[in-house]
Structure 1
Amino acid sequence: MIKLFDNGAYLLHGTELVEDNAEAGAVLASKLGSAPSKEEASKNTLAYGILAKHNTSDNMENLKIKFDKMTSHDITFVGIIQTARASGLKEFPIPYVLTNCHNSLCAVGGTINEDDHMFGLSCAKKYGGVYVPPHQAVIHQFAREMLAECGAMILGSDSHTRYGALGTMAIGEGGGELAKQLLCKTYDVAKPGVIAIYLDGEVQKGVGPQDVALAIIGATFGCGYVKNKVMEFVGPGVDKLSADFRIGIDVMTTETTCLSSIWKTDDKIKDWYDIHGRSEAYKEMNPGDVAYYDGVVYVDLSTVKPMIAMPFHPSNTYTIDELNANLMDILDDVEKRALVSLDGKVDFTLKDKVRDGKLYVEQGIIAGCAGGGYENICDAADILRGKSIGADEFTLSVYPASTPIYMQLAKNGVLADLIETGSIVKTAFCGPCFGAGDTPANNAFSIRHSTRNFPNREGSKIQNGQISSVALMDARSIAATAANKGYLTSATDLADIEYTHPKYFFDKAIYGRRVYNGVGKADPSVEIKFGPNIKDWPEMVPLTDNLLLKVASVIHDPVTTTDELIPSGETSSYRSNPLGLAEFTLSRKDPEYVGRAKAIQAVEKVREAGECMGKAFPEVKEVMHAIKEKFEDVCGSNTGVGSTIYAVKPGDGSAREQAASCQKVLGGWANIAKEYATKRYRSNLINWGMLPFVIDKDFDFDNDDYVFIPGIKDAVKNKTEVIKAYVVNKDFAEIELRLGELTDDERQIITDGCLINYYKYN
């Protein structure tokens, strides 16, 4: 059972909840002798204490955070360092770890990916960072093993930067926010709400962390219960979970759209740090005797059953039993969702996977920061030991999350047990999570213990008429399915399995031999190694007095993911090349977008050159003439021209800043949305000088509409709440746009044109 409280609640002594309702005062008085105020009790959450410790402002309502450490992988660190270099970077002011777990395969693009790695190594030497070579560890497992510490804060450029189970508050953001930290600036955010995730009871045998995570995601994502808030895990159920189990739940909190997460700590976490040779990083952490939370997600762990998240979102959840009992009805619902997610561009069905009333899958994957943990793999091996995955279409691949885990699996025989079944065990690599490895066959169905199952995220290309799809499951039920030779099976159906739970021994010697640690040893004389695909950011102009925006894409989907804004997988080799990557913008959702954006960007380039736009572009001449009839001071020198997209709720998913920067380098100047799915996507827009407009009333935008916004620069500077704009080609229909809360620095970044300009000009 999962219950969302309608109100906030007090947590007494870490165990008892008192909901904040009309009777709360009397209940608290009877139990405590007095009723503490919400304001004081809210300071007793773990989240408040950590945020207060890292806040550099004197105002806890508007935080200015400085992080202890940072981490990035090889499809983000090049752009981040390039941004910081352009803004005056001299050396890394805090430990900054550069992992290489995304662009690890170098076959695509020749040496392009390895060039990024050499860029990273040379920057670690020059600026004093840590460089983790390919196949050593996925970004988040290395951070858990070597960076996390109780009470610390870590900023990462990957959305699944979550180390709360280890007592570390971690946040995944776009590259601009990391560049700010490299330049000794702050992460500015309004004080987030804190939601208690109250765990009670004990999980059943065969239930794994992904099952608990998917149950929570299914209950909270759609209603936005924890959106942009901190999830704080408390309650007696926490004590019943191993460290690895907690980590497996924690990493998936990103899919709820929360800001971050934190857990109370205990002897199991102490043991985890002891095993990893970092005992000094542990301290016991508990909320105060009376802590107030802005909401509560009550989870009875004993009622959680093996789960499956069907295509195309981690929140599309069912119990496996429910799916098997209502197979055709649920598959029919998936088809309806596919019509929205895939825009009807390809025929999609999973009904052809039903054989003799059972659902057959072609692929299983246990991988990455969510699935590649030691306990997940050992439990999967216990289920599969002595069995065969069969000689039909079904395949199973296992990716341990780090070389130390891989080494221990080899030493204790688990590796051999898995290989004997026909499973393939590979090195630490994030590819299956974002479409750069193990792409299923056309029309194939994959079950994965990984983080996301967005459309085409597994690597198929809808633009080529290809489609495969992913459901998320726990490693245990994936192993049960493998033992059943590809027929979907819940791990709890296998009552005779004995889980051996072999002890873990961490040997960091492999890191000592291969990982470059230059913290505190910056060497300015080192020359950075640039490959031909590593390009500087193009010049970007400041915001003009007025704006003329041409709508280049209209997206009516309820939610638009960052994967749809800039695809993952095949684009990875171009992440260090802003203009090359931009060619893929919206390629799966709206293949005509790039052409439309470039067409209006050509007008802006003529304007910037001081030439007459109207001579080269008659259509724009007519539009500008119509505008001048109503706004006589408007001219080419004070009116920028660019593109915008309209989307209902853009930005769910990855932290990748390229979802915004690609629009920017193609001449994008704004997004118009009903709301933004995540803070991090909105922040990415701002850091690239793009206006994050929100429109309250529905307006029927069409591609190629012209939206004129007079006085936009003054509106940004003067904090104008409602900004009037006009759809020129629709009889100057008036619309009202809002920018929402912006810090003074964010307003300056937008007016300067981007974060790089902000540091250049100020």
Structure 2
Amino acid sequence: MLDIFKKGAFLVGNNELISEENIAELEARNNGPLDKEQAKKGTITYGILKEHNQSDSMQSLKIKFDSMTSHDLTYIGIIQTAKASGMTKFPIPYVLTNCHNSLCAVGGTINEDDHVFGLSAAKKYGGIFVPPHVAVIHQFMREMLAGCGKMIIGSDSHTRYGALGTMAIGEGGGELVKQIIGDTYDIEYPEVIAIYLDGKPQPGIGPQDIALAIIGQVFKSGYVKNKVMEFVGPGIANLSTDFRNGIDVMTTETACLTSIWQTDEDTKEFLNIHGRVEDYKELQPEAVAYYDGAVYVDLSKIESMIALPFHPSNVYSIKELNSNLNDILHKVEVDAKKLINNPNIDFKLTDKIHNNQLKVQQGIIAGCAGGNFNNVYEASEIISKATAIDKDYSLSVYPSSVPVYMELAKKGVVSNLMAAGAIVKTAFCGPCFGAGDTPANNGLSIRHTTRNFINRDGSKPGNGQMTSVALMDARSIAATTINNGILTPATDVVDEYPVYDYHFDDSAYRNRVYQGFDEGKDEEELVYGPNIKDWPEMSSLGEHVLLKVCSKILDEVTTTDELIPSGETASYRSNPLGLAEFTLSRRDPEYVGKAKAVAVLEKSRVEGNSVPSEISHVYDKITEVYPAAGKDLTSIEIGSVIYCTKPGDGSAREQAASCQRVIGGLANICKEYATKRYRSNVINWGMIPFQTKEEPDFEVDDYIFIPGMKAAIAEGKQEITGYILGDTVREIHLYWEALTDNEKEIVLSGSLINYNRNKFVNA
């Protein structure tokens, strides 16, 4: 089904993949040695990055994007940060969608106040505003802005439009701010991995099946982490562009940097249907292209797949699961106990086995992955075989945009689904992050969405509530639906590919979307609701730092949802201090109180007060290991720190870092960062991105003193020795991956906001 290359690979003629291990054979056919470095330039990736690079080096890239996008969990913070940095207009098309806080169900006027603010910002600075329920963020970008050879940055991790020839990157808001104020996205040239697709999927196999098969093979090994996935090979021609979009958006769950696909006549037809045929151009690798790695995928052997709780990489074929229900589900239960960390919750999946079959309680087809036209249409074809949905099972379907909804309605799909008992709702991302369709306690939901992390369905394990989500393709969800909620692979019920056409009607966009790019109006005023607050002041980095350990998490991976929960907390996204109250609330409820107590100590230091009595013993130890510091409070910045083994898997939202910072966070310590985007967020919020190769020889409430921190950053060092000030004084050896010149200045300034303010003052 899948074969992962141990070394790099050459793609010859865009149809033959040859391992670097067999280079002698290729060179013999080539009548001479191959220039590997030249062949690296033969990828689609190289051409797009070169065109968007502003530096004179293709090794150290400085990228400017063609457009940007954000949703209503992120755009207010971005606009506030850019405004504080001196923004006067949006220099490139900036799409503000409203697909996360669409329901306005929690927090009174908070959510709609945010939407009003967004529209006022679009009018003032020249943006594009998509009202609630009109489209989910990524479907709108596919339909209206993505095009061949372009680059798009979005403040959502699933910013992926590679199937349309667009290299799109999901990042924290700070990286979008840089684009707004004229700076660049600075990265080292990434490795490129070929995803070679061959063959044709079986009837009943959908994009989620293929995506999960790939994720299950590459995530845990980090094979594509922070790399570009370049989709090539003859199998692409057997997939429609809408189908490709469904695979592409899930590449985020591999931890890759971005993705890109070769384009063809089907890509051209997709863009033509959407009135943008001029955005098409053929993208193909050169005659010989070199890749740093490769994954061979035989599409014909992909089965109906399922990702069990609590990660998209926990992948099995549905047939394998059904053959080993007790063993596999019991393993998930055992693993879950370590994650839940609550003795009052007895998490169960095996109790859903009846007559050797797995009975689920809920199905969801939604969002940027599941709500595409082809997924809903083909699911409906399967569901039409049933007269009604089992009363103990519910199905909700969320088309990804109003144009998709309109076409489904014209073809009778909506009425067919509703007649069978499904509920068809509006474009909304809620089921993917816990703001809609939360199952009943102990329920199991199967979803064609993007993530199934713990409590991302909206449940609250800390309050004794526990549910779980398994990810599946819409077709297998439909097959399960017609089998009374008994887990069923679509390949058991589908024996042919449905045939359909698609017509795009943009009338809803023309009538509802505010198209203001390049038409900003200085006289427009931003409209602030009472919950929208500016960022608090943040200090620049001290000469030395004193860190108090306020949380220590030893889980294999810590997701952004654990760092700052999604769901109802989303209502506070525009209030930095209000949202910060929820930091780590579902994982370490004591963290916020501890961090705020440290912030009080730092405030006292800034005000020039004497050493507080409760930490005088800490300063006694500091003078032992670093006499030069004495008791000079002005030179030692005090802040909190969290330790996680591998933090930042999941969402791009910057609040996972900013919430730590605004209540006194000064650093993270980890073995490795799960994603580049989380590390970028840590840096952009002025925190030090420490790593350590040692096991964490400190506990919560210990202090760590690091002398000469400011000088180390300024001088470009990448490692430093600190001191754990516990019962005994012990050394700790910390390092950080290379920082760009801008990143150094951001950390030294204390935040991207401070850095930008300083730059404008000195300009």
- TM class by smaller structure: over 0.9
- Aligned counterpart for 1:538 among listed residues 536, 539, 543: 536
TM-fit CA distance, 1:61: 0.8
* 2:10 counterpart residue number: 10
* Correspondence 1:661 to 2:636: no
* Correspondence 1:49 to 2:61: no
* 1:641 counterpart residue number: 638
RMSD: 0.9
- Aligned counterpart for 2:298 among listed residues 300, 308, 330: 300
* 2:617 counterpart residue number: 622
Q: Deviations over 1:482-512 (max 9, x none)?
A: 001111000011145x543321100011100
- Aligned counterpart for 2:744 among listed residues 742, 747, 760: 747
Secondary structure of the equivalent of 1:64?
Answer: strand
Contact 1:386–1:421 at 8 Å: present in 2 too? no
* 2:626 counterpart residue number: 631
TM-fit CA distance, 1:30: 2.9
* 2:649 counterpart residue number: 652
Secondary structure of the equivalent of 2:546?
Answer: strand
Q: Deviations over 1:431-478 (max 9, x none)?
A: 000000001001100000000000000000112110110000000000
* 1:95 counterpart residue number: 93
- Paired with 2:668 and 2:658, the residues of 1 have a C-alpha distance of 12
TM-fit CA distance, 1:114: 0.4
What are the equivalent positions in structure 2 for 1:52-63 lying under 5 Å apart? 52-63=50-61
* 1:457 counterpart residue number: 456
What are the equivalent positions in structure 2 for 1:279-678 lying under 5 Å apart? 279-345=277-343, 346-495=345-494, 499-614=497-612, 618-634=613-629, 635-678=632-675
- Paired with 2:592 and 2:300, the residues of 1 have a C-alpha distance of 50
Counterpart amino acid of residue 593 in structure 1: Y
Counterpart amino acid of residue 123 in structure 2: K
TM-fit CA distance, 1:297: 0.6
- Paired with 1:642 and 1:707, the residues of 2 have a C-alpha distance of 10
Contact 1:68–1:153 at 8 Å: present in 2 too? yes
Contact 1:312–1:337 at 8 Å: present in 2 too? no
TM-fit CA distance, 1:671: 0.3
Secondary structure of the equivalent of 1:212?
Answer: helix
* 2:196 counterpart residue number: 198
- Paired with 1:29 and 1:605, the residues of 2 have a C-alpha distance of 66
- Paired with 2:277 and 2:557, the residues of 1 have a C-alpha distance of 43
* Correspondence 1:162 to 2:141: no
* Correspondence 1:110 to 2:128: no
Q: Deviations over 1:396-441 (max 9, x none)?
A: 0000000000001111111111111100000000000000000100
Q: Deviations over 1:305-348 (max 9, x none)?
A: 00000000000000000000000000111011101221244210
Secondary structure of the equivalent of 2:27?
Answer: helix
Contact 2:342–2:461 at 8 Å: present in 1 too? no
- Paired with 1:339 and 1:190, the residues of 2 have a C-alpha distance of 39
Secondary structure of the equivalent of 2:294?
Answer: strand
Counterpart amino acid of residue 760 in structure 1: R
TM-fit CA distance, 1:242: 0.7
- Paired with 2:47 and 2:727, the residues of 1 have a C-alpha distance of 53
* 1:728 counterpart residue number: 725
- Paired with 1:174 and 1:219, the residues of 2 have a C-alpha distance of 27
Counterpart amino acid of residue 469 in structure 2: V
- Paired with 1:700 and 1:734, the residues of 2 have a C-alpha distance of 9
Q: Deviations over 1:632-653 (max 9, x none)?
A: 2322000011100011000000
Secondary structure of the equivalent of 1:637?
Answer: helix
Secondary structure of the equivalent of 1:17?
Answer: strand
- Paired with 2:377 and 2:180, the residues of 1 have a C-alpha distance of 39
- Paired with 1:581 and 1:388, the residues of 2 have a C-alpha distance of 46
* Correspondence 1:705 to 2:669: no
TM-fit CA distance, 1:388: 3.8
- Paired with 1:558 and 1:80, the residues of 2 have a C-alpha distance of 31
Secondary structure of the equivalent of 2:633?
Answer: coil
- Paired with 2:675 and 2:596, the residues of 1 have a C-alpha distance of 27
Counterpart amino acid of residue 382 in structure 1: E
Structure 2: gaps (5+ residues): none
Counterpart amino acid of residue 747 in structure 1: K
TM-fit CA distance, 1:386: 4.5
Contact 1:564–1:588 at 8 Å: present in 2 too? yes
Secondary structure of the equivalent of 2:158?
Answer: coil
Contact 1:207–1:491 at 8 Å: present in 2 too? yes
Q: Deviations over 1:348-371 (max 9, x none)?
A: 011111111110110000000000
TM-fit CA distance, 1:107: 2.1
TM-fit CA distance, 1:598: 0.8
- Paired with 1:431 and 1:437, the residues of 2 have a C-alpha distance of 5
Structure 1: gaps (5+ residues): none
Residues 416 and 560 of structure 1: CA distance in aligned 2, closer, same or farther (over 3 Å): same
- Paired with 2:693 and 2:57, the residues of 1 have a C-alpha distance of 30
Calculate percent identity across the aligned residue pairs. Answer: 62
Q: Deviations over 1:168-206 (max 9, x none)?
A: 000000000000000010000110000000001110010
Counterpart amino acid of residue 451 in structure 1: T
- Paired with 1:101 and 1:36, the residues of 2 have a C-alpha distance of 49
Contact 1:388–1:485 at 8 Å: present in 2 too? no
What are the equivalent positions in structure 2 for 1:196-235 lying under 5 Å apart? 196-235=194-233
